[in-house]
Amino acid sequence: SDLQKQEEQGELLQPLIFVLLVLCSVLLYFKVSLMDPGFVKSEEEAEAGNGEEQSMVIPHVPSTVKMRRCGYCMVKQPMRARHCQLCQHCVRRYDHHCPWIENCVGERNHPLFIAYLSVQLVVLLWGGHVAWSGLYFEQSWDWLQHNIFLLMSFFLIVIFTIVVLLLLISHLYLISCNTTTWEFMSHHRISYLRHSELENPFDQGVILNLWRFFC
């Protein structure tokens, strides 16, 4: 492969960058998996942490829509929070429970989740290029026996690349609209969206939505 040739020639910059990217993606994976996604711990913390966001939304939401108490946690749910049955916690700005990381994606770890997907996509694309550069096709059984592992790796990388790319694109689209996966999928069931004057009361334009999310 290209990386192997560069390593044999003593050109270690690109192999080192590739290894560092892989290491970065692994560290981001564990960070996103193990960190608090934004659990609602008490009424005081929830109200203090979401006061600014709620005051921004109230003009577009009828006053009849109130903060409700979670039937599982018995805490007052801030707007956009939801109880996760798997984590057994209410999560602020709940997006979804990700089986890849075995954790919720919420207010605190959502930006890092996007960073993880981005780094992972770069690693997969580069890994796919490396695997392809090591393949020299010949119509013989011996060639297939010597290259079967590399060939399978390439096809697996292609599949995972498509999955990660679609996931990243969908999340970036939702972020640009200032909505979450849960709100997008369950719009008709959520009181503060169902009774809102606007289809999405949180949308403040693409630039401001991205700025608020990442910065």
The Cα–Cα gap between 118 and 207 comes to 19
DSSP secondary structure code for residue 191 in this structure: H
Among candidate residues 94, 110, 96, the one with its CA nearest the CA of residue 46: 94
Contact 124, 164 (CB under 8 A): yes
Determine how β-strand 82-84 pairs with β-strand 96-98.
unpaired
The Cα–Cα gap between 193 and 89 comes to 22
| C-beta neighbour count of 83 within 10 angstroms | 17
| C-beta neighbour count of 89 within 10 angstroms | 22
The Cα–Cα gap between 15 and 17 comes to 6
The Cα–Cα gap between 45 and 41 comes to 7
Residue 98 a catalytic site member: yes
The Cα–Cα gap between 46 and 142 comes to 64
Q: Determine which one of 24, 70, 73, 98 is catalytic.
A: 98
Contact 175, 210 (CB under 8 A): yes
User: Which helix (H) or strand (E) covers residue 194, if one does?
Assistant: helix 191-194
> Active-site residue numbers?
98
